[in-house]
Amino acid sequence: MWNFPLHPDRASSLALHVDILLYAWLALAGVVTVAVLFLIVWFAVKYRHGSGANRALPPDAALRRRNHRIEAAWIVTPLLLFMVMFGWAAVLYYAHAAAPANATEIYVVGKQWMWKLEHVGGQREIDELHVPVGRPVKLIMTSQDVIHSFFMPVFRIKQDVLPGRYTMLWFTATKPGDYHLFCSQYCGTEHAQMIGHVVVMEPAAFERWLESGNASQSMAQEGAARFRQYGCSGCHGPSASVHAPKLEGLFGRRVQLADGTSTIADERYIHDSVMLPRKDVVAGYEPIMPSFQGQIAEDDLLDIVEYIKSLQDALPLEGK
Amino acid sequence: MSTVAVPLRGSYLEAGFSLWSWLSTVDHKRIAILYALSITAFFFVGGVAATLIRLELVTPAGDLVSAETYNKLFTMHGVIMVWFFLIPSIPSTLGNFLVPLMIGARDLAFPRLNLASWYLYVAGGLFTVGALIAGGVDTGWTFYTPFSTMFSNTHVIAAVIGVFIVGFSSILTGINFIVTIHKMRAPGMTLFRLPLFIWSMYATGIIFVLATPVLAMTLFLITVERLFGVGVFDPALGGDPLLFQHLFWFYSHPAVYVMILPAMGVASEIIPCYSRNNIFAYRSMAFAVLAIAIIGFLVWGHHMFVSGQSIYAGMVFSILSFLVAVPSAIKVFNWTATLYKGSISFDAPMLYALGFVGLFTVGGMTGLFLASLALDVHLHDTYFVIAHFHYIMVGGAVMAFLGAVHFWWPKITGRMYSDRWARFAAIVVFVGFNLTFFPQFLLGYLGMPRRYHEYPPEFQVLNVLSSAGASVLAVGYLLPLCYLLWSLKYGARAGSNPWRATGLEWQTPSPPPVENFVSIPEVTEPPYAYREKDRSDG
């Protein structure tokens, strides 16, 4: 316990950029703080009560002019420095806001008090995340109950994980190792136990890990089974007698809604269509779909989402 | 002006000795004393919770208290320190006492409303203490939904009602200050002759009146969702949990300025007095206070950079957070420049004020680290944030509160305390504070999340340092309690103006008579005319 590091490991492509920004801030804040403290101490000694220092001020008009110049200087200088720092941090943030298109997707469900993760190939993990070095990874996250936050200090990133919504986090790991994974948004009694590991592996080792995993079938296959189990196929399947939107080729497409607006059929759209079917009713269909709120767990729903995504390239069987 | 020894007879303290005479008083000075006693009691209750938290964190394992108890402790610490100590601290005690005295009025505009505000504070306090005795609350002082509405099994409603009620006490105080400062200034007391403490009380009053109702609404919505299952914040009921965060921080960020603006006002009174110098750039100091109060309403979203808020909203809130730091920076530079060519002595209030400037600078600068989007993504919800806001709220607001108590103690009580002990305590507080909270910056950067009952072992050294600092800090807080109480009986008589300060409050006897002034003074010069005063005093 006596040797603690001065900075957390840097294990993502972003980490060094964040640290450089931090060091720049330390330098700037250090200079300003030391300058202020130096002036306070210097004046406190030089102008201490009873010292013989010269306390005469210039005549009023000259004093006022000089003071205005000083004031203007220390309004404008901090403002300019602050704008530079704002811009730097904002550009870095913006550049890392959207995941690259080729990122490997991994699904995350937070629940009191564990992390459940699932790879597209169907490998499931609890409180552990295995990722390869050098490949962008995108986490698609939601919560089963309260707000959590997925925090990996060595990657310098975190993102709150919300119930009823998908949030996203991405990174490219750069250094193999076993690192901390924390929940950083207070989520109840066992919040401090909602921790785990991020295991960064060489690509070959990662492939071996994927194959040796516990996956009997991929997420999409799992999702297809759920799709039948929850009765979705009864209406949305090819032989359905009910007038329900077809799901082949749906993902990523723009959907016209009954209220005249339109939306992109992304993960959120599919999630809400299952849980809150009255929210986005597709134009031309009756709002007859029942809500599955409280009946289907978030991780099962993710399998279904992945199944519907897998139908992306299938031709729509009918309609537009 | 020479100091005149005035007999205590006729002072506000002698207007009545029975308990009822205190509980039914409408004298702003006595109400200030009632507030001072109550917030001190709450400060030590909140302090006990902090002590237990720091003791638990000495070891990585959760061995002293259970996870559930730990969560209740940090909730209790936050709720009590924020709403029952920090927010009312300077405004309701020193502000209540000094606003009429500093502007040359005989009382606040609405004396009965002032007493009502104290009763509301007590009622809110009783609800909260009730919630604590009944078994505690485990939501954190931020009451984040849907945890607080649908998942917590603790006494959320009682605590929320307590905070709801105490909010009205803030609103009443705010209305009183705004009206008093507008309508009851002595002849010649123009806006730009107001002491900066009054400007800060005015800005605080505006925040109280505009922000607190939003808190009340938000707490009401929590209650409605929790009791009746009306979906407002819980997505399972069709609500939006981020809506809560927007509403909560719309109040709670300005509330941070309620803690720091009065502290700035205090520093602006103390530093010129012990520098025997006119304050540097009075007008920009006054405008900076107003700018902070106004821009402070527009930065709440910087608490939500990783919440799922849109990245463009994040950028707007980030740039506004940088802008609000400019007037704060100006104030720091102006206080420093006030020392230039002064004649500086280092009585206890001055040590607290200088300590305030230093710690506030560190707190403010680290706030900018957090306003920087890409950096906040890493530092958010870690101990870095804890360290930052304790530098502002404890290093800033509590240091200034103690400085103010020492500066105006002779005026309030008519007695002098031991300056030697007081200077010693100021240094102990400063050292203990830094030892407690500086290691937490490192902990946060290394990745330790806040609100963790147990933690990985590599964080232990820094946690032990922090806990050691907390015990030094505890001594620093207990010392003034001893020597100040001692001074009430054994302290030398203060005289009306022991610090040879400018300002109307020093032109009336200590402690002041019930009516504040024998005759209302007329103001003929700007505030802080220390050079002129010392020249004419010879």
Q: Where are the beta strands (DSSP E) in A7-135?
A: 104-111, 114-119, 124-126, 128-132
The whole-angstrom separation of Cα A144 and Cα B271 is 54
Q: How far apart are CA B382 and CA B448, in angstroms?
A: 6
Task: Give domain A236-310's CATH architecture.
Answer: Orthogonal Bundle (1.10)
> Quick count: other Cβ atoms within 10 Å of Cβ A314?
12
> Given pLDDT bands bounded at 50, 70 and 90, which one contains residue A243?
confident
Closest CA to B263 of B44, B43, B86: B86
Question: Which positions in chain A touch B346 (Cβ < 8 Å)?
Answer: 44, 48
B464 CA: distance to closest CA in chain A (Å): 11
- Which helix (H) or strand (E) element contains residue B412? helix B399-413
Contact B388, B360 (CB under 8 A): no
Residues A181 and A197 sit within 8 Å (Cβ to Cβ): yes
For A28-37, A238-247, B46-55, which range has the lowest pLDDT when averaged over its residues?
Answer: A238-247
Q: How far apart are CA A130 and CA A107, in angstroms?
A: 12
Q: Count the Cβ atoms, other than its own, within 10 Å of residue B191.
A: 12
Nearest chain A Cα distance for residue B280, angstroms: 8
Burial B147-179, CB ≥16 within 10 A → b, else e: bbbbbbebbbbbbbbbbbbbbbbbbbbbbbbbe
Q: Assess contact for A264 and A254: CB atoms under 8 A.
A: yes
Closest C-alpha among A199, A222, A181 to residue A304 = A222
Residues sharing a CB contact under 8 Å with residue B418, sequence separation 6 or more, in sequence order: B483, B486, B487, B491
| Partner-chain contact A49 B332, CB within 8 Å | no
Taking the CA atoms of A308, A313, A317 and A320 in sequence, report the sign of the dihedral they define: positive
Is there a contact between B322 and A75 if contact means CB atoms under 8 Å apart? no
- Alpha helices (H) along B9-103: 19-23, 28-56, 67-79, 87-88, 96-103
Show Cβ contacts of residue B489 under 8 Å, excluding neighbours closer than 6 positions: none
Distance CA A168, CA A178 (A): 22
How big is the CA angle at B247 (ends B96 and A276), to the nearest 5 degrees? 160
Calculate helix-pair angle for B348-371, A60-95, nearest 10 degrees. 40
The helices-and-strands tally (H runs, E runs) of chain A is 7, 12
- Look at residue A2 in the predicted model and tell me its pLDDT: 53
Mutate to test the interface with B, among A184, A187, A193, A278 (most CBs of B within 10 A): A184
CA B2 to chain centre: 33
- Residue B499: name the closest of B406, B436, B423, B429 by CA: B406
- Identify the CATH number of the domain defined by range A104-211: 2.60.40.420
Amino acid letter for position B238: G
The model's pTM: 0.93
Residue B183 contacts residue B191 (beta carbons within 8 Å): no
Q: Does B419 touch chain A (CB under 8 A)?
A: no
Indicate yes or no: CB of A40 within 8 angstroms of CB of B336: yes
First to last CA, chain B: 10
Model pLDDT, residue A183: 97
| B 117-146 → A contacts, CB under 8 A | 138, 140, 144, 146
Q: Decide: helix, strand or coil at residue B53.
A: helix
Distance from the Cα of B285 to chain A's closest Cα (Å) equals 11
**Residue A81: closest CA among A19, A29, A16:** A29
* Rounded CA Rg of chain A: 28
Those of residues 232-261 in B touching chain A at CB distance below 8 A are 234-236, 238, 241-242
Q: How far apart are CA B111 and CA B520, in angstroms?
A: 18
3-class DSSP state of B28? helix
Whether B299 and chain A come into contact, CB under 8 Å, resolves to no
Q: Is the dihedral of CA B2, B8, B10, B11 positive or negative?
A: positive
Q: What is the pLDDT along chain B (538 residues), one digit of tens a residue?
A: 334 444 445 899 988 899 999 999 999 999 999 999 999 999 999 999 999 999 999 999 999 999 999 999 999 999 999 999 999 999 999 999 999 999 999 999 999 999 999 999 999 999 998 888 888 999 999 999 999 999 999 999 999 999 999 999 999 999 999 999 999 999 999 999 999 999 999 999 999 999 999 999 999 999 999 999 999 999 888 899 999 999 999 999 999 999 999 999 999 999 999 999 999 999 999 999 999 999 999 999 999 999 999 999 999 999 999 999 999 999 999 999 999 999 999 999 999 999 999 999 999 999 999 999 999 999 999 999 999 999 999 999 999 999 999 999 999 999 999 999 999 999 999 999 999 999 999 999 999 999 999 999 999 999 999 999 999 999 999 999 999 999 999 999 999 999 999 999 999 999 999 999 989 999 999 999 999 888 887 6
DSSP codes joined into one string, A199-229: EEE-HHHHHHHHHTSS-SS-HHHHHHHHHHH
Report how far apart, in Å, the C-alpha atoms of A243 and of each of A234, A246, A279, A285 are: 11, 9, 18, 7
Sort B213 into a burial class: Cβ within 10 Å, 0-12 / 13-18 / 19+. Answer: middle
DSSP symbol at A290? P
CA angle A133, A135, A141 (to 5 degrees): 105
**pLDDT value at residue A3:** 59
Given this model, what pLDDT does residue B7 score? 46
Chain B CB contacts of A57 under 8 Å are: 341, 531
Within 177-236 of B, beta carbons closer than 8 Å to A belong to 234-236
Q: B218's torsion region: left (phi>0), alpha (psi -120 to 50) or beta? A: alpha
- DSSP-assigned beta bridge partners for residue A180: A197
Of A128, A164, A147, nearest to A267 by C-alpha is: A164
Q: How far is CA A289 from CA A226, A236, A238, A298, B234, in A?
A: 17, 10, 17, 18, 22
Chain B, 396 to 415: residues with Cβ < 8 Å from chain A are: none
Are the C-beta atoms of B144 and B245 separated by less than 8 Å?
A: yes
Q: Which residue of B has its CA nearest to A65?
A: B281
The verdict on a CB contact (< 8 Å) between A160 and B307 is yes
Q: Are A82 and B318 in contact (CB under 8 A)?
A: no
Domain spans in chain A, listed from the N-terminal domain onward: 15-43+61-95, 104-211, 236-310
Using a CB-CB distance cutoff of 8 angstroms, which residues of chain A are in contact with residue B342?
Answer: 43, 47, 55
Q: If you count residue pairs, one on A and one on B, with CB atoms under 8 Å apart, how many are there?
A: 249
Q: Which residues of A touch B371 (CB under 8 A)?
A: 86, 89
Q: In what order do the strands lie in the sheet with A157-161?
A: A128-132, A196-201, A177-183, A148-152, A157-161
Tell me which residues of chain B, numbers 451 to 470, contact chain A at a CB-CB cutoff of 8 Å: 451-462
Say yes or no for a CB contact (<8 Å) between A33 and B354.
no
**pLDDT surpasses 80 at A213:** no
Domains of chain B: 27-533 (1.20.210.10)
Lay out the sheet containing A104-111: strands in order across. Answer: A124-126, A114-119, A104-111, A136-143, A167-172
Query: What's the Cα-to-Cα distance from A72 to each of A32, A60, A76, A182, B389, rounded to whole Å?
Result: 17, 18, 6, 46, 29
Contact criterion met (CB < 8 Å) for A25 and B372:
yes
Distance CA A218, CA A231 (A): 20
Beta bridge partners of A182: A151
Measured distance CA(B160)–CA(B166) in Å, rounded: 10
CB contact under 8 A, B373 and A33: no
Q: What is the pLDDT of residue B538?
A: 66
B530-537 and B241-275 helices cross at what angle (nearest 10)?
20
Of chain B residues 60-119, which have a CB less than 8 A from chain A?
62, 67-68, 71
Same topology, domains A104-211 and A236-310? Answer is no
**Are the beta carbons of B67 and A192 separated by less than 8 Å?**
yes
Select from B333, B388, B442 the residue whose CB has the most chain A CBs within 10 Å, as the one to mutate to test that interface: B333
Strands A124-126 and A128-132 turn out to be unpaired
Q: Residue A4: which of B322, B372, B461 has the nearest Cβ?
A: B461
- CA separation, residue A164 to residues A276, A294, B242, B308, B519 (Å): 10, 12, 11, 12, 66
* CA distance to A18, B115, B385, per residue, from B378 (Å): 8, 46, 11
Count of helix runs (H) and strand runs (E) in chain B: 18, 0
CA B247/CA B232 separation, integer angstroms: 12
Three-state SS at B362: helix
SS (H, E, C) B201-244: HHHHHHHHHHHHHHHHHHHHHHHHHHHHCCCCCCHHHCCCHHHH
**CB–CB of B345 and A146 under 8 A?**
no
